[in-house]
Amino acid sequence: MEAITLSSTNHKMPQVGLGTWKIPKEVCKEVVFQAIKMGYRHLDCAPTYANEVEVGQGIKEAIDQGIVTRSELFITSKLFSTHHHKEHVKLGIERSLSDLGLEYLDLYLIHAPTPLKYVPIEERYPPTLYYDSVEKKIIVDKVPLHETWAAMEDLVYSGLARNIGISNVNASLLMDLLSYAKINPAVLQIELHPYLTRKKLVNFAKSKGIVIAAYSSFGDTSYKGINMLDESIEFIPLLENKTILDIAKNHSVSAAQVLLRWAVQQNIVVIPKSTNAERMSLNLQVYDFFLSEEEIKSIDDLNNDLRFIDPYLYLDRYPFYAN
């Protein structure tokens, strides 16, 4: 398994991980166990995915059977938006660690830079966007990122997280964070695919020694019907795009493998989700072929800044990416 070195700690982050969003609870333990068995060493988790207990059970099974040791795994989880106040950050990671059955995380990310009003864990967990889940009421809180980040740094000092990072931020907020951070973010996790290449943000982050992790490598496949996708936008799904299909045919691989290869060839981490054993295996097989410069450019040229996840659509018209 290829890995990328994190500049802040020299820890190795496996370049292909398993995303766990939308893996159903009833199959999650077995999916995680089988993923580790077939060679996955990087798992991307979050409390809002509502399956960290089951992910932890899969990890434990793999360790108990001697397939892997804890030190050979790279486990990521995330701080949800209801826990941005400094006194709540540690509570967030402690619950994730308890659910996962771990003593530390290899990477802990701020899931989104959009703080929401605190909801105590004992009142409702896993967290949701809603302060009032009956009325579907969203309340955006006033918590500056510097307060949350200082508490994240404390997690490193205490050994609960070995690396910390950020997700879903724009360039200006990242620049601001770098102006006061004592520990720079090791990773920036963002939506990134050929329809949303984000070259300027990617290049800026890389110039600061920050590793890019891409989610939604296959585009819209996870967002239909959950109010995160503007259904009025017309587009050809990436997995059906002729450019991608032609390149896949040229290399005798799948369209999904081309999309993943396009990212990893640019030293970007990918975390595709699947519950299908064959597709999970194929997603690991992205080092057996090489895209030419012309193929990379033809994929880059598909960019049209099409965003599939936007707080404006699901977070009470929050204009985070507004122009």
- Burial classification of residue 305, based on how many CB atoms lie within 10 Å of its CB (0-12 exposed, 13-18 middle, 19 or more buried): exposed
Closest to 42 (Cα-Cα) out of 271, 259, 258, 275: 271
Domain spans in the chain, listed from the N-terminal domain onward: 3-234+268-276
CA dist., res. 193 & res. 190, Å (int): 10
Q: What is the pLDDT of residue 220?
A: 80
Q: Could you please report the per-residue DSSP string of 215-276?
A: E-TTSGGGTTTTTSS-TT-----GGG-HHHHHHHHHHT--HHHHHHHHHHTTT-EE------
Q: Please, are residues 177 and 144 in contact by the beta-carbon 8 Å criterion?
A: no
H-assigned helices in 65-170: 86-100, 145-158
- Burial classification of residue 245, based on how many CB atoms lie within 10 Å of its CB (0-12 exposed, 13-18 middle, 19 or more buried): middle
Q: What is the mean pLDDT of residues 174-187?
A: 98
CATH topology of domain 3-234+268-276: TIM Barrel (3.20.20)
Strands 18-19 and 42-44: parallel
Q: What is the pLDDT of residue 145?
A: 98
How many C-beta atoms surround the C-beta of residue 233 within 10 A? 11
Residues forming the annotated binding site?
111
Q: What is the pLDDT of residue 230?
A: 63
Active site residue 318: no
H-assigned helices in the chain: 25-38, 52-64, 86-100, 145-158, 171-180, 199-207, 242-251, 255-264, 277-284, 293-300, 311-314
Tokens (6 digits) for 304: 């049209």
Cis peptide before 144, with omega less than 30 degrees from 0?
A: no
Which position among 49, 108, 195, 223 bears the catalytic label?
49
Sign, CA torsion 92/98/104/107: negative
Residues forming the annotated binding site for substrate?
111
Q: Please, are residues 112 and 119 in contact by the beta-carbon 8 Å criterion?
A: no
CA dist., res. 192 & res. 186, Å (int): 18
Query: Residue 309 carries which DSSP code?
Result: -
Q: What is the mean pLDDT of residues 231-260?
A: 94
- CA 113 remoteness from chain centre: 14
Q: What is the pLDDT of residue 308?
A: 86
**Is pLDDT above 90 for 297?**
yes
Summarised one tens digit per residue, pLDDT across range 69-90 is 999 999 999 999 999 999 999 9
Average pLDDT along the chain: 93
Summarised one tens digit per residue, pLDDT across range 53-69 is 999 999 999 999 999 99
Instruction: Name the pLDDT band for 132 (thresholds 50, 70, 90).
Output: confident
- The CA–CA distances, whole Å, from 244 to 8, 95, 135, 222 equal 35, 41, 43, 19
Q: Report residue 91: phi and psi, to 5°.
A: -60, -40
Q: What is the pLDDT of residue 126?
A: 86
**Is pLDDT above 70 for 314?**
no
Identity of the residue numbered 320 = F
CA dist., res. 246 & res. 248, Å (int): 5
Instruction: Name the pLDDT band for 322 (thresholds 50, 70, 90).
Output: low
Summarised one tens digit per residue, pLDDT across range 8-21 is 899 999 999 999 99
